[in-house]
């Protein structure tokens, strides 16, 4: 998937959300096939639910829709699906919200940088070689070995800024 531009970040007025969800599901199917993994119906449903809003969702947020679809809506079922999706690189866990968001770049390993709107909850994943390079340089200068980067930036999206 392409890096985020002004036109494909969810809070932009011309963002094509249905195309975005369809592409994410197709990407997931292709990735699982390549990795020899099964994207079961429950895993696919959980991924679809996560992608439908571009807002981070917790496991308990997913339970009503899973029950409505006729699946076992017990929390362990959802957590197993989320664990699988995270292992495959299809979703990210946002620690500050204890929630999950679809991965915009599941085709390659990368570090997670997220813009999270505190008003509407819309979240955009960014890919930034510059930010990664800066973090690596500062860490190296401090004698620190970085194993994982996950940066969650809280603020207000352009739509919500208009109403502040």
Is residue 123 within a helix (H) or strand (E), and if so which, with residue range? strand 123-126
pLDDT tens figures, 75-118: 999 999 999 999 999 999 999 999 999 998 888 888 889 999 99
User: In this predicted model, what pLDDT tens digit does every residue of 1-14 receive, in sequence order?
Assistant: 344 433 345 555 56
pLDDT of residue 12: 55
CA distance 34 to 81: 19
d(CA 13, CA 56): 19
Please tell me which residue, 124 or 143, carries the higher pLDDT value: 143
125 — phi, psi (to 5°)? -90, 135
The confidence score (pLDDT) of residue 1 equals 38
Half-sphere CA count of 153, side-chain side, radius 13 A: 11
Over the chain, what is the mean pLDDT?
88
Q: Return the residue matching tokens 């194993």.
A: 147
pLDDT over 90 at 151, yes or no: yes
DSSP 46-110: HHHHHHTTSS-B-HHHHHHHHHHTTS---HHHHHHHHHHHHHTTSEEEETTTTEEEE-S-TTS--
Please, are residues 124 and 53 in contact by the beta-carbon 8 Å criterion? no
CA distances from 113 to 14, 47, 162 (A): 22, 20, 24
pTM over 0.75: yes
């Amino acid at each position: 998937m392409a890096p985020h531009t002004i036109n494909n970040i969810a809070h932009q007025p011309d963002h094509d959300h249905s195309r975005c969800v369809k592409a994410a599901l197709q990407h997931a199917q292709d990735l699982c096939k390549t990795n020899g993994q099964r994207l079961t119906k429950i895993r696919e449903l959980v991924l679809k639910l996560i992608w439908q809003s571009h807002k981070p969702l917790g496991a308990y947020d997913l339970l009503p829709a899973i029950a409505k679809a006729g699946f076992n809506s017990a929390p362990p079922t959802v957590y197993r699906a989320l664990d699988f999706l995270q292992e495959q690189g299809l979703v990210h866990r946002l620690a500050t919200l204890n929630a999950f968001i679809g991965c915009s770049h599941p085709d390659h390993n990368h570090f997670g940088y997220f813009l999270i709107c505190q008003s509407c909850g819309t979240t955009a994943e960014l890919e930034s070689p510059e930010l990664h390079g800066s973090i690596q340089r500062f860490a190296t200068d401090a004698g620190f070995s970085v194993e994982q980067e996950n940066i969650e930036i809280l603020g207000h999206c352009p739509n919500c800024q208009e109403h502040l």
